[in-house]
Structure formats: C-alpha cells, structure tokens
Structure 1
C-alpha cells in the first residue's frame, strides 16, 4: 500500500469559512463538478490531511498545548519585541488577547480542515464507485471533521458548527453552537468513522483507521467524564494488534514512522522533489547564529525561529530516577549566551553541543539549555526534517484505559495497563490502588510519557487542575525570571479557554467573545 502523498497545491473551492466571492468563479470547478471519480475523492482527502498540519505541527499548536502549561517556556531576549515572538510569549505568560495570531491559527486551520471534509461528505453518497471505497473515504473525512471540532471545542468552547459546504455569505454568519451540541456531532462523526474505517494493517499507510476513530471517540468520552463509554472502545483498540515499540525513542524515529505503536500521526515528507517537510526542532533549539552544533546543519535560528518550547525544570524534575524517557525526550545544548542573549554552542561540529541530560552538570563557564530531543533526527537540509507529529500512540491508549478503570472504581484492573508503559520506561510497576493516589500517578505518567506532544495543557484543564497548578507554577517561575511582568500568570477560570479571533468576530457579527477577553 502506498503512503499518503499530500498534494502541494490547494484547491480554490476548498475555501475557509470567512472568504467568499459573490460572483461564481469562471476558472475553477465547484465541488459537484469536481468530485466524479474515486481518484478525485482520494485527492480531496489528501488535501484535508494536509490541513491537519496547522492544527498539530504548527507553532500555535505547541504554543497553546505545551507553552501554556508547566511543561515548557521560552528563551527571553529583551531586544526582540517582534509581534510574533511577543504574542507567543504572551500565551505562555497568560497575557494573550483576541488579536493574537498565535491563537487564531488553530481556529483557522481547523475550519479549513472542516471545510475540506464537508466537501467530501456532501458529495460522497452520489459517487459512482464501490461502497467499500466510499466508506473508506467518508470514514476518513468524518474522522478529520471530528478531530477538528474536538480541537476547537476544547480550546475555544462554543464554536459555530458547519456540517455542509459553505456556499454563500448567509451560510457563514452562524452563532456559536453550544459545547454539548458540538460534542454530540463529534461523537456521531467518530462513531460513523469507526464503523466505516478498516482495521489497521501493518506496516501502516498513515491514513486514519478504525483504531484512530475508536481512540478519538474514547478520548472524547474521557474528556466528558463518560468513562464507562470509553472503556470498551479502548479495550477494542487493544485487540487491533498495536504494540509499544521496544524502545521509547523508536516511537518518534522518522526511519520507523507510522510504526506498530502509531495510531494516528500527522505526515511530513522531506524526501519529495518539493519537500513537505517539518521543522519542529528548529523552533525548539536555542536562538543561535549557526545550529550545526545541534542539528548538524547550519541554520540561523535567532529571528522568529528558535528559543521556544524549552523544557522547564519543573518538568525535568518530575521524571523518576532511572526513567529512560528522560534521555529520549530531553537533551542538553551546551554552550553560553552572549551579550545579545543568543546561544553560542560549546562545540560547533555536527551535533557536538548535544549532551545527555542524565546526570548533566555544566562545566565552568558554560550553561546547559534543555530542548525536546524526541524531534531531533538526522536530516540533509536545514529546516527540512522528516519527523511526523504524533496525535495518538498506543501508549496513550494504555494510559487512557488505566484512567477509565481507576475512575470506575476498578483500580486494581488499571495497574496492568499502567505497568506496560512504565516497564518500557525502565520503571517498576505501581501497586497503588487508592483511587485518588492512582489518579495522580496516571496524570503524572501522562505528563512524562506524552511530553511535547501537545497534551499537557488539555490534561490540566480536563482534570480540573489547570488553575491551581498554573497559579503555583506562575509564582515559582516569576521568582526565577525577573523579566516576567507583574501581571503575568494571573490564571483564573477565564484562562481555560482561548479568545475567539478578533478577525472572525469582525467577519461574523453573530460571534460573541469568551469571558476575560
């Protein structure tokens, strides 16, 4: 089977929800004119997959999912007040507003994905090819639509619900739909996708499978605290022949992508003639004029590129002694910061400045700046890496199942699933059966297992820990970094949602703003 190849062009008729032409375009096709053959539909599905990159692998994704939490921070450079950098820092500092492009990108790309999925769903019933192929196409489209709305409702709350192609300005101006109704639609789409999609076949192709849809549906139920509904779905996933990779680092190795642990990941490919590459690591290493000492290739990361998603000491300290995931997840860039607050590596030969974090002590005159190692892999061109972005891994399924069983007062049954994750990490199995204590253990396990996968902020919110944890973290980090403003980390219930983008509110007068913005 062929792996997904995402087309580099974007169809004009897959418009986002905020831009329309009154006059029918004479140089492009409508969806009804375009969608004829199975190949047409598969090409459109690939276009929807491409849009997912903006939701998961973009700067807004890890800014909102990790830097908003106690997992990561940023390198501060007082002389650089560029708007994009300031806005990104503001998200971490709980000072962001409705004008921020760093929090509007997720909204925009989610609706682009939804628009493309809707175009497929609207037309698939009339298609003239096999029901088997139609089910596979519709299942993928509904999975992506459900995934997109799940991102929107968790980050923004009530959002407009579009279930068909938007053909006029009248179709655009919708008020915000209640979270309950949005969740009902997500559940309906994910259920339908799980019925229509095929079971995973290994090696996988990168397309959504029955396992992807079941995992998404279970994740939705867990978010809604419907643990009894999630449990059988997760147990069904455990019967689909997924396994943990033998070594934690293997799960992220581009040479082993879409492996037996992968349930769904966002695809990138640096080997094509026109690369569809990722560049995560260049955002996560320090600001430096020459990145050779870390990536092996020369790239200036000083301007609006490096210095973000920096692992905090709070995260590093939470790893247990002997946890193999620490070294696989976080490395040290050794060097010094110059007078401009830019990083100068201690060794500038390929990878020479990269040190293991385990037992690390900076030598005299040097500093050790941590960065997410799980996205550092060999590549041939600067800013063109082959790393995929993980959305769901089998390790998370095991932790979700353990969480469900614990919440259903069957804590002893949860331990074997937790054990699998901990044993791979080189840690002893837990014997804790007190529900409250085990709940904290599982949340901690999620933190270290899924670090830098954009899960931490959402975990804090859904478990009711965001305000208390981030208030305490804010006090600690403000004592550590004197550059943080006095009004930073003013965390309250309004902070749990991000603002509706200002531009969207200007285009759609029926939209209302979230409290606090």
Structure 2
C-alpha cells in the first residue's frame, strides 16, 4: 500500500496544473501520464514493468517463507548468535509466532499492490491512443491476468483486501476499506475470464508472457479453491487441448534451457545475461543452502552466504519421507550437502550427495537443500532460473482433483497417473482406487512431492482444510526434535490460517481492519 500511496502522490503531482495562474509554461522534462502513452511500444513497456512486479510476489523471501516454511515442507537452520530482526521474523513465520509487526510478511502485500497499481495505470489509459484490436486485446489480457494473479495471492494469504479497479487519484479513493473475500474472488474471476477471452491461445516456443492457457489455468485454480468443481473442470480441460505436455524427465522442467517450454504454463522470467535486477537474486539456491563461507562445492561459485542469505527453506525429513520408493522426483528435487557445522553453527561443505538412502560419512553431517533450482551460473547469488508459477503437471493434478470432488473418480485417474508415470518411469505405481476419500489424500500427497518448493504447500493445506491438523501434529515432532523452539510455537488455530495485515498499512489507512488474532 505504501507503494500505491507514493505512486498516487506522484500521479497527482504530474497531472495537476499549478494553482498559480501566472505560471503557464509546461516543463518539457516533466512526465504526464495523460500524455505518456503515445504508441503501442509505450504500452508494451508498461506491461513489462507490471510483469516485473511479480518477481517480488512469487519468489522473494516472503513468498517461500509464507508458502513453504509455514508448512511441513521446510524449516530453517537455527543460529543462536544470529538474532537479527529479519532472521527472527522469518523464523517466526515457520514457528507460527509471527505478529502484525513482522517485517517479513509485508513484502508480499507490497509487491501485489505494486503489480495492481502498474496494471491499473495501463487499463486506465488503454484508450488514450488508437490501437489495433489484436494489440489492444493482448495488452488488456496480460494486464488483467497480472491483476487477477496478484489478487489471488492476496486473498489467500490475507483474506479480503481493498479492491482497486482503477488507479486512485485522491486520498478518498486511496484509503478505502477491505472488501470481503468473496468480493475479491468475484473480481479475480472477472479479470481472469476477460484475460482468457482476450489472450491468444498458447503457441510454442512461448515468450514468457501470459497466454490463454495461463489465464484458464488461473481460473481453474480459483474455481477449485471456491469448490466450484464443475467450472474448474471446464477451464482446465480446455487447457489440456492447447498443446502442453510433460517432459520425459521431471528435472527437465526446471532446466534453464527449457524456460517457457512445453510444460510451462506461466513462470517468472529471469536472465543473468541482462542487468542485475533481471537475475534471480532473491529466491535462488543460495537462500536454501546452509550458511557457508564458501559455497563452491555446491554451486561452483565462491560465495559467502553466512551474513547474507543462507540457512532457510531447509527440506524437512517429513517431506523426504513423503516420497515413495522409486520416485525419481526425490533425487531431482533434493540433494545433500555433506560437511560439518562449527561452534557458530556455520557450515563447511566437503561433498554433495544424493538424498536417496543417504547415510552420513563418519564425522560428517548431511544437510538437505532444494536441488531443483541449482544450475550452472557464474556470479554468486545470481542464477538464471525462472520461477514456476504454473506447470502443466499442476494442471493435470488440479483437473484430477476437480473431477474426484464431483464423484468422477474414475475420470480423475488418468490425469493423476500421467504425473505419476513420469515420476516413476512406468505405470507400475499407478493408483487404481476410485474411492473418493482415498483419492483426496493421494492427490494432496502427489501435489506435495510434485510441487515441492514451488510455494504451494501451505495454500494446499489451508484450501483442503488440513492445515490445523497436519501442522499441529508436525509441530509436536518439531518441538521434540529442536530444543530452541519456544513453548508457544506451532499453536495452529483458525486465526493462523491468514497472515496479519501489515501494521504499517493499518496506520496509513484507518479504514483497514486487522485479521482476528493479531
């Protein structure tokens, strides 16, 4: 919201004519939004800027802290000497000890509203010039997809939020109350539906921009979340007719050489060949490694992540145990960095080993880390990995779930088993049960291992009504294992299913109300 206020004040200052009547000159160096959009290229640049905002929404530290560390998938390396505010607040998210003053959850809120603000300016000015119908549809379709995606993230993590249908230009338009969650969902559906109608069908190779397939996948995900399973089925079945397919090997879906490939539905774009902001500098594997003075053995690049980014999103044994014997996704998703921790809880690596049937060498400790984002690069903490938002494997699992929830369990099996056959290499591990309850558990588990480290697990637990039960039981195991956890940690209640509205936003906007329990 702070970004919105800054932008609004900037817009007002740009658009308002001075009240001093004697000053009639116009500064030629002063940008005015009412005259900025002069050709299609100006709109294309603005759309690219809106896409850029999504980087902070889906792959910064708040994204994986809230989407993965909040769940039973990952934890963190505790370091008693590191009690910096950011570290303590990030750990608090995992331990269910975060409050309205936590400084690690607001970045998601800020990034989402930054994207919404960027999109609204485009939509507000789309008729400033005459555009070819195809170009206009493409610009509006992409803009509305981005806005729907941002609001979908906001409503699931924070509940009802203010709805901005246009860029506010006054204080009255800026400081508005929260809409209900249902009103936000209705707005998302309208945007995603319009995007699907305006965007072109997916073609390969893809450009990385939103397509009709991406909009329909988002729409299917929204309908599934709202338990409108028949509508989810319709949207997702349309996606299966658009030419997407699974790579033969699971790991191929994450190879930089396969960016925006046949399994990609939508992903956040990064390119280390461009300037630093275009590199993946925040959600890279460096965050997920233990704190090391030299990461060379793991990454091939000498980088010190002790005082910067390391020690988070550590795969739990609970997640590792969720992979079945023979599931090739385990080795593709997680690896072990072997070495020793010193008295300061910093790590020295001696080898990287497979997680499958791993046993530590004498005198060594094996620490797991997410391997799926580890690929060759040349600059420390700057990787070339895109961040997956939707993959075709998820489309198949969403479709299987929507069918099963309608009692069409037999129809769900081929979609579920397509994902499993890729994982195991053949059909020997296919699921055959058509019992609805059995398949509910199987699909949820399949999503866990297929989409591990893609920031889906916490949302899945909340959406399926499993969060309190699963995380309470997980917390018991965690407190038995880690003596540093406080007695009040993992007190998972209904109020904890949403995150607090950032306190700074409450102070800025007196019409905002805080979520219960915070």
In the TM superposition, residue 42 of structure 1 has moved relative to its aligned partner by 0.3
Check the 8 A contact 1:275/1:384 in 2, yes or no.
no
1:429-508 alignment, distance < 5 Å: 429-508=430-509
Moved more, 130-139 or 300-309: 300-309
Match in the other structure for 1:514: 515
In structure 1, how many angstroms separate the alpha carbons of the residues matched to 2:109 and 2:30?
26
1:419 maps to 2:417: yes
1:282 maps to 2:283: no
Deviations 1:352-393 (A, max 9, x none): x21111111101100110000000000011111000000000
In the TM superposition, residue 304 of structure 1 has moved relative to its aligned partner by 3.6
1:21 maps to 2:9: yes
Check the 8 A contact 1:36/1:128 in 2, yes or no.
no
- Which of 315, 325, 329 lines up with 1:325 in the alignment? 329
Deviations 1:143-171 (A, max 9, x none): 00000000000000010001101212221
In the TM superposition, residue 30 of structure 1 has moved relative to its aligned partner by 3.1
Match in the other structure for 2:311: 307
CA-based RMSD? 1.3
Unaligned 5+ segments in structure 2 are 15-26
In the TM superposition, residue 273 of structure 1 has moved relative to its aligned partner by 4.6
- Which of 294, 298, 319 lines up with 2:298 in the alignment? 294
Check the 8 A contact 1:15/1:112 in 2, yes or no.
no
Match in the other structure for 2:404: 406
Unaligned 5+ segments in structure 1 are 1-13, 347-352
Check the 8 A contact 1:18/1:507 in 2, yes or no.
no
Moved more, 369-378 or 298-307: 298-307
Q: Secondary structure, in 3 states, of the residue corresponding to 1:424?
A: helix
Check the 8 A contact 1:18/1:504 in 2, yes or no.
no
User: In structure 2, do the counterparts of structure 1 residues 202 and 15 end up closer, same or farther at CA, with 3 Å as the change threshold?
Assistant: farther
In structure 1, how many angstroms separate the alpha carbons of the residues matched to 2:13 and 2:73?
49
1:367 maps to 2:365: yes
Deviations 1:244-276 (A, max 9, x none): 011100100111111100000000110115551
User: In structure 2, do the counterparts of structure 1 residues 91 and 28 end up closer, same or farther at CA, with 3 Å as the change threshold?
Assistant: farther
Q: Secondary structure, in 3 states, of the residue corresponding to 2:13?
A: coil
Deviations 1:443-494 (A, max 9, x none): 0000000000000000000000000100000011000000000111111000
In the TM superposition, residue 28 of structure 1 has moved relative to its aligned partner by 4.2
Deviations 1:166-214 (A, max 9, x none): 2122211100001111110000000000000011111110000000000
Q: What is the TM-score when the length of structure 2 is the normalising length?
A: 0.94
In structure 1, how many angstroms separate the alpha carbons of the residues matched to 2:3 and 2:153?
17
- Which of 151, 154, 173 lines up with 1:152 in the alignment? 154
User: In structure 2, do the counterparts of structure 1 residues 407 and 28 end up closer, same or farther at CA, with 3 Å as the change threshold?
Assistant: farther
Q: What is the TM-score when the length of structure 1 is the normalising length?
A: 0.95
In the TM superposition, residue 125 of structure 1 has moved relative to its aligned partner by 3.0
Match in the other structure for 2:22: none
Number of residue pairs the alignment of both structures matches: 498
User: In structure 2, do the counterparts of structure 1 residues 239 and 54 end up closer, same or farther at CA, with 3 Å as the change threshold?
Assistant: same
In structure 1, how many angstroms separate the alpha carbons of the residues matched to 2:30 and 2:116?
20
In the TM superposition, residue 127 of structure 1 has moved relative to its aligned partner by 2.7
